């Protein structure tokens, strides 16, 4: 072969070679993780096993077609080859994932510490998979077509790749969405997007951390109706419960046998703020309605619990889910898995009944007005069967795996309904507990953060972009219970609330309803978003 021809490559060939090389060599740790986690003996496992390399190749093809441009191809190509090679080694040897936190470690590690990672095998690995190809790229002349035909060629590659990705997505959406949910972190193994994205996020976080913290309303004040009683309120934030599976909302199976016997107000037409926890939870506690809510800004602004604390409320957040998404940052918080309750917990998860004991202890020791949040594990998927004790496996057959795509639709729905049945029990138990304190103005609200898809139109789980989200994911259950003392002393016409409980409302109402029920006056209050506004028999005190 003519050595000059060996060191000459057409841009098209380079793009394809890069995509292939990244798929086959530089994503070894990604594919190791993929293939250890799919079940090749199942149909969905085979589909995933075949689709993963194709989809990754097509995605890389798109990226490299865009970025391997004249003047850019060589420096950029060399950089991604070297970093990806080292990253691949690192992930493969140490089982680490690359994200913003890992990038921070890289930036903040001292040279002496990095030397600990330096050894002969990384040198060899990076030499063969990074440095050699990089040297070849440096030495090689890339032949580009004239501008117009080069652009046409790239347009054609992008077009074809997009069509194929779209086709693959349509055919394997179910398999990928469930695998993705069970193995969320796996994308952090994909070279080179993991460290590019991680680096961007790292700098974003650095910039965001400089944002000034904002008090909501320094002039807010506690202005109660005149009475000698303490106010105690429990807000249960549900997880992944969808409205349509509550028999309170007309579902055909008896999923709410206990709540059906309580004197509650069930709000039957409630829309969530988001389709995933990290957005819905901060939004529920924000004074801003969904359309004005900014998730990036939210951690730097006070929320409902801060405002109540500022007005003399004792706040307690009990978390049995995956954290409070920075909402509880400034208030006392207890993580239920830390309590080591053997009856309700294994090492990772607790059943929601775990709240009852610490809640009772808390209620027995109340000194002041109190606001308590119970952040539930609820119906967290996809391992629905792990959310309830055996006694609640009433709807059968059930699906005893997190790989729900391998169960039939009926079993998935049954398992999910059992989680609702258990939630019904937990809420009823909390109400039973609150009834022991008739001398408080005591009450409870339950609201779920978002819904869930259970295979309708082949969609599972949640997190679909809001604009196109199905109602299964955005319609949530919400209900209220009040002691006689609370109804009376807060001048609430409970029957009026019940009459209005079918009106369409949303998470937007929660802040304004609760801030007024807790008798805090603030300029942020919007009466049109207060559920109680038109059912008060006496105006709020000034």
Binding Zn ion (rule: CB under 5 A), the pick from 65, 268, 272, 277 is 277
Q: Shortest Cβ distance from residue 476 to Zn ion (Å)?
A: 10
Minimum separation from the CB atom of position 488 to Zn ion (A): 35
Structure tokens at 117: 């990672």
Task: Quote the tokens at residue 290.
Answer: 């969904």
User: Which CB, 375 or 521, lies closer to Zn ion?
Assistant: 375
Q: Residue 84 CB, nearest distance to Zn ion (Å)?
A: 34
29 or 277: CB nearest Zn ion: 277
Shortest distance, position 449 Cβ to Zn ion, whole Å: 4
Q: How far apart are CA 512 and CA 531, in angstroms?
A: 8
The residue to which tokens 């199942």 are assigned: 42
CB neighbour burial string for 477-513, b if at least 16 within 10 angstroms, e if fewer: bbbbbbbebbbebbebebeebbeebeeebbbbbbbbb
Strand 370-375 relative to strand 231-238: parallel, antiparallel, unpaired?
parallel
Structure tokens at 436: 């022991």
Size of the site for Zn ion (CB under 5 A): 3
Site for Zn ion contains 239 (CB under 5 A): yes
Q: How far apart are CA 133 and CA 77, in angstroms?
A: 10
> Does residue number 472 form part of the binding site for Zn ion (CB under 5 A)?
no
Please state the closest distance from residue 287 (CB atom) to Zn ion, in A: 21
Say what angle helices 147-182 and 11-24 make with each other, to 10 degrees.
Answer: 10
Span from 123-131, 271-279, 469-477, 482-490 in contact with Zn ion (CB under 5 A): 271-279
Whole-number minimum distance, CB 199 to Zn ion, in Å?
A: 28
As a whole number of angstroms, the distance between CA 369 and CA 389 comes to 34
Nearer to Zn ion, 284 or 315 (CB): 284
CB of 116 to Zn ion, least distance (A): 39
Rounded to the nearest angstrom, the gap between the alpha carbon of residue 167 and the centroid of all alpha carbons in its chain is 27
Residue 449 interacts with Zn ion (CB under 5 A): yes or no: yes
> Is 120 exposed, middle or buried, given 0-12, 13-18 or 19+ CB atoms closer than 10 A?
exposed
Shortest Cβ contact with Zn ion: which residue?
277
Determine how β-strand 441-448 pairs with β-strand 478-482.
antiparallel
Contact region with Zn ion (CB under 5 A), list: 112-120, 144-152, 336-344, 446-454? 446-454
Interaction of residue 448 with Zn ion, rule CB under 5 A: no
Smaller CB separation from Zn ion, 304 or 433: 304
The answer to whether 452 contacts Zn ion (rule: CB under 5 A) is no
Interface contacts to Zn ion, rule CB under 5 A: 239, 277, 449
């Amino acid at each position: 072969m003519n050595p000059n021809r060996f060191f000459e490559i057409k841009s098209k060939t380079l793009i394809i070679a890069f995509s292939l090389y990244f798929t086959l060599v530089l994503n070894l740790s990604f594919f190791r993780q993929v293939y250890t986690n799919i079940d090749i003996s199942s149909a969905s496992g085979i589909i995933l096993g075949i689709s993963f390399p194709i989809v990754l190749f097509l995605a890389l093809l798109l990226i490299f077609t865009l970025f391997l441009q004249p003047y850019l191809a060589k420096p950029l190509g060399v950089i991604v080859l070297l970093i990806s090679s080292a990253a691949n080694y690192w992930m493969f040897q140490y089982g680490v994932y690359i994200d913003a936190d890992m990038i921070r470690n890289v930036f903040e590690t001292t040279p002496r510490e990095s030397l600990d990672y330096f050894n002969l095998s990384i040198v060899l690995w990076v030499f063969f998979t990074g440095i050699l190809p990089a040297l070849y790229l440096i030495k090689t002349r890339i032949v580009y077509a004239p501008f117009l035909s080069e652009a046409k060629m790239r347009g054609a590659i992008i077009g074809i790749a997009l069509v194929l990705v779209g086709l693959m997505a349509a055919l394997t959406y179910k398999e990928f969405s469930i695998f993705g949910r069970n193995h969320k972190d796996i994308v952090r193994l994909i070279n080179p997007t993991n460290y590019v994205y991680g680096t961007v996020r790292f700098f974003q976080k650095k910039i965001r951390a400089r944002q000034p913290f904002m008090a909501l309303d320094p002039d807010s004040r506690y202005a109660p109706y005149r009475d000698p009683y303490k106010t105690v309120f429990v807000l249960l934030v549900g997880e992944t419960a969808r409205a349509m599976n509550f028999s309170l909302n007309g579902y055909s199976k008896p999923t709410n046998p206990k709540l059906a016997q309580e004197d509650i107000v069930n709000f039957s037409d409630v829309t969530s703020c988001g389709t995933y926890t990290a957005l819905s939870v901060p939004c529920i506690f924000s004074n801003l309605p969904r359309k004005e809510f900014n998730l990036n800004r939210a951690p730097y602004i006070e929320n409902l619990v801060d405002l109540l604390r500022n007005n003399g409320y004792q706040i307690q957040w009990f978390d049995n889910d995956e954290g409070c998404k920075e909402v509880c940052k400034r208030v006392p918080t207890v993580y239920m898995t830390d309590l080591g309750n053997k009856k309700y917990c294994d090492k990772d998860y607790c059943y929601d009944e775990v709240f009852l004991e610490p809640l009772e202890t808390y209620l027995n020791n109340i000194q002041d007005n109190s606001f308590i949040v119970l952040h539930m594990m609820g119906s967290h998927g996809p391992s629905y069967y792990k959310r309830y004790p055996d006694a609640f496996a009433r709807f059968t057959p059930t699906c005893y795996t997190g790989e729900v795509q391998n169960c039939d639709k009926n079993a998935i729905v049954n398992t999910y309904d059992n989680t609702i049945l258990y939630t019904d029990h937990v809420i009823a138990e909390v109400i039973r507990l609150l009834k022991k304190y008739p001398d408080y103005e005591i009450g409870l609200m339950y609201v779920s953060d978002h819904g869930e898809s259970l295979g309708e139109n082949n969609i599972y789980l949640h997190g679909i972009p809001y604009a196109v989200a199905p109602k299964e994911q955005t319609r949530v259950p919400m209900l209220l219970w009040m002691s006689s003392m609370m109804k009376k002393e807060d001048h609430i016409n409970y029957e009026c609330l019940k009459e209005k409980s079918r009106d369409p409302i949303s998470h937007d109402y929660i802040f304004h309803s609760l801030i007024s029920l807790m008798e805090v006056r603030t300029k942020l209050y919007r009466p049109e978003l207060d559920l109680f506004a038109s059912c008060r028999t006496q105006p709020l005190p000034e």
